[in-house]
A and B are shown apart, each in its own frame.
Chain A
């Protein structure tokens, strides 16, 4: 702050409430940060509901990355070329990384990772429903990259400006890395749609299965999304579910054309007046039933996650024990 036009002493936001400040002063300080579109940082006072909402959102996002590794990991060992195998491995590995960036952000809100993990393993925390669908064919690797990661990126780009600093910073890193994910998916589909008849069919079939669920990744229609407004008021969310969904459809239509594939919605049509593509209704009954546990792979995904956790317990314990033994030995050597 070097300008004389706006000296720091005159900026109300820089004026943090003093120690022992009243609740009203704390709330006012927080509100001012939000109004100024500034960032809330971990050690700032924040309303309990803001903390809870964020913890839930960020950890669910992290869980989605981790569970989302499974459908793709399913194809690493069968990838049809060594180059594709390497790319897919790097991508799934990135997802583990993104999960960790997000857990790292969630932890700054005060809940340790192992507690967040327990919430997932005990079925108390949700993750994105899309990962409860099976990855049946190699073309699904393309559809997941193009449509699922595409939708995720559409959702995530505005989150880079989320009011909570650590979340926004994690999203910046994730968005940078994910741009390759969508492109590799598009490229898989491109190769298939320009390949043999069987490959083309495989590609179209994958797009048919993933298109609807990908559009549902933005959440229920605005009218049925009661918590969205609060998140928008807090500058966590910047655009409504339907706004983001529209933006996504507008991007996907020309990309599908470039692929030579058809989006499975006969109602897709350019609307000159709106300046957007119209699209048909989505099957929200299916969406809600998958959330309620009726998806084709809900049980399988959780079972794999629990198995990894349980079977790894002795390894984590041994490493922790080794660290303790080493520290004791070190203390003895130092004569402590």
Chain B
């Protein structure tokens, strides 16, 4: 990949790069259906970003504190794009949506909510999620909705890096030592039951032909590429049943409430305050 063309959420908007504030002030207004679609994608990025942020100051090496921090920062950036855009349909800000919705109003996939565990478990989650997001944003770039397409174009560049990062670590852990192989394999086993939900054709998608990506159409390419990497890293595709309740409702998840408790505690203690 080209490092030269890489853009990161740590930087100021430059050139064509989109920023959340631009969406808020541009006057675009998402339709109800588009907003519900954007909300789900934003929630995924928010949950995973929140999880990954916890690694900062705890990573296996200082260089990795920075790498995981970059990925978390990119994801929070993506969440801000999608939530800001979704909010235009309802006159809400990204923070209204992130901080003042209740657990059952979120639409994140359970994979993004899973605990970090050890570094192997985190890399397993990153591997699955970044491969999925790569396919998603590659297609979403072609959306007839220009805002979604612009967000996807920006996010894809960053997700390519996330995917590279996860792949590089999968190879090093999978091939490096027996212990690392075992830990990553366990991580894959732990994350695997939540893959179905990534490809669940959730509620507004059918209403948005040409605008939303139909998740189920991404699965074949996702599996082909992910399975190839798993094999290259001398790991096994886990033989484990898929978890029921994969409909983004969160009804079958224990983690979402804990994540939100931490995420929202301060904002909710001071309703109406600005920060």
- The answer to whether A and B touch in the complex, with CB atoms under 8 Å apart, is yes
Interface residues, chain A, with chain B CB atoms under 8 Å away: 66, 69-70, 73, 76-86, 89-90, 92-93, 96-97, 99-100, 103, 138, 188, 191-192, 195-196, 198-199, 304, 307-308, 311-322, 325
Please give the residue numbers on chain B whose beta carbons come within 8 Å of chain A beta carbons, in ascending order: 9-10, 20, 46, 50, 53-54, 56-66, 69-70, 72-73, 76-77, 79-80, 83, 94-95, 98-99, 118-119, 171-173, 175-177, 179-180, 183, 262-263, 265-267, 270, 272-275
Q: Tell me if B69 and A77 are in contact (CB < 8 A).
A: no
Question: Is A93 a contact partner of B80 (Cβ separation < 8 A)?
Answer: no
How far is A78 from B60 in the complex, measured between Cα atoms in Å?
A: 23
Selected contact of B266 from candidates A66, A69, A78, A93, CB within 8 Å:
A78
Contact A325 B175 (CB under 8 A): yes
Q: Is the CB of A82 within 8 A of B76?
A: yes
Q: Name which residue of chain A comes closest to B53, CB basis.
A: A76
CB within 8 Å for A316 and B61 given contacts A78-B263, A93-B10, A196-B273: yes
State which of B9, B173, B175 has its C-beta within 8 Å of the C-beta of A86: B9
Partner of A78, one of B171, B179, B180, B265: B265
Contact B94 A82 (CB under 8 A): yes
CA distance A222 to B68 in the complex (A): 42
Contact present for A69 and B57 (CB under 8 Å)? yes
From residue A322, how far is it (CB to closest CB) to chain B in Å?
4
A-B contact pairs, 27 of them (CB 8 A): A69-B57, A77-B53, A77-B54, A78-B262, A80-B99, A83-B20, A83-B80, A86-B76, A90-B69, A92-B56, A92-B57, A93-B70, A99-B62, A100-B63, A191-B274, A192-B275, A195-B273, A199-B273, A308-B57, A312-B61, A314-B180, A315-B173, A316-B60, A317-B180, A318-B180, A320-B176, A325-B175
Inter-chain CA distance A90–B73, complex, in Å, is 7
The residue in chain A whose Cβ has the minimal distance to the Cβ of B180 is: A318
- Does B98 contact A82, Cβ atoms closer than 8 Å? yes
Complex-state Cα separation, A75 to B123, whole angstroms: 24
Is A81's CB under 8 angstroms from B69's CB?
no
Is there contact, CB below 8 Å, between B69 and A93?
A: yes
- Give Cα distance in the complex from A81 to B80, angstroms: 10
Q: Which residue of A lies closest to B51 (CB)?
A: A77
For the complex, give the distance between the alpha carbons of A96 and B9 in Å: 17
Most interface-central of B59, B64, B65 (chain A CB within 10 A): B65
B60 and A312 within 8 A (CB):
yes
- Across-interface contacts of B63 in A (CB, < 8 A): 100
Given A312-B119, A316-B61, the answer on whether A86 and B73 have CB atoms closer than 8 Å is yes
A96 to nearest B CB, angstroms?
4
Residues of A within 8 A of B61 (CB): 312, 315-316
Q: Which of B46, B66, B77, B95 contacts A96 (CB 8 A)?
A: B66
- Min CB gap B10→A, angstroms: 5
What chain B residues lie within 8 Å of A100 (beta carbons)? 62-63, 66
Mostly helix, strand, loop or mixed at chain B's interface? helix
Would you call B53 and A89 a contact (CB within 8 A)? yes
Contact partner of A307 among B58, B99, B119, CB < 8 A? B58
**For B119, what are the chain A residues with a Cβ–Cβ distance below 8 Å?**
311-312, 315
Cross-interface CB contact of A69 among B54, B65, B177, cutoff 8 Å: B65
Known: A100-B63, A314-B183, A318-B180; 8 extra A-B contacts, CB below 8 A, are A73-B57, A80-B273, A82-B46, A82-B98, A85-B53, A93-B56, A311-B60, A315-B180
Is A89's CB under 8 angstroms from B94's CB?
no
CA distance A321 to B176 in the complex (A): 5
Which of A69, A82, A313, A318 touches B95 (beta carbons < 8 Å)? A82
Contacts of B73 in A (CB 8 A): 86, 89-90, 93
**Do residues B10 and A77 form an inter-chain contact, with CB atoms below 8 A?**
no
For the complex of A and B, list the 4 residue pairs with the smallest distance between their C-beta atoms, beginning with the closest: A312-B60, A318-B176, A318-B180, A315-B60
**Smallest CB gap from B54: residue in A:** A77
B6 to chain A minimum Cβ distance, whole angstroms, is: 16
Contact A314–B179 (Cβ < 8 Å): yes
A112 shortest CB reach to chain B, Å:
14
B57 interface neighbour in A70, A97, A192, A322, Cβ under 8 Å: A70
Residues of A within 8 A of B266 (CB): 78-80, 138
| Distance in Å: Cβ of A265 to nearest Cβ of chain B | 28
Neighbouring B residues of A84 by C-beta, 8 Å: 275
| CA–CA, A92 and B57, complex, Å | 8
CB distance from A202 to the nearest CB of B (A): 9
Given contacts A73-B56, A73-B57, A322-B171, contact A81 B180 (CB under 8 A): no
Q: A82-B94, A317-B180, A318-B177 are in contact. Are A97 and B273 (CB under 8 A)?
A: no
B69/A198 in contact, CB under 8 A? no
Min distance, Cβ A179 to any Cβ of chain B, angstroms:
14
Kindly identify which residue among A76, A82, A92, A311 contacts B83, using a CB–CB cutoff of 8 Å. Answer: A82
Question: Closest approach, in angstroms, between the C-beta of A74 and any C-beta of chain B?
Answer: 9
In angstroms, Cα B118 to Cα A191, docked, is 38
Most buried by A among B62, B73, B94: B62
Q: How far is the CA of A66 from the CA of B177 in the complex (A)?
A: 28
Q: Which of A80, A96, A103 has the most CB of B within 10 A?
A: A80
Task: Using CB atoms, name the residue of chain B closest to A192.
Answer: B275
Output the nearest chain B residue to A84 by Cβ-Cβ distance.
Answer: B275
Report how far A138 CA is from B275 CA in the complex, Å. 10
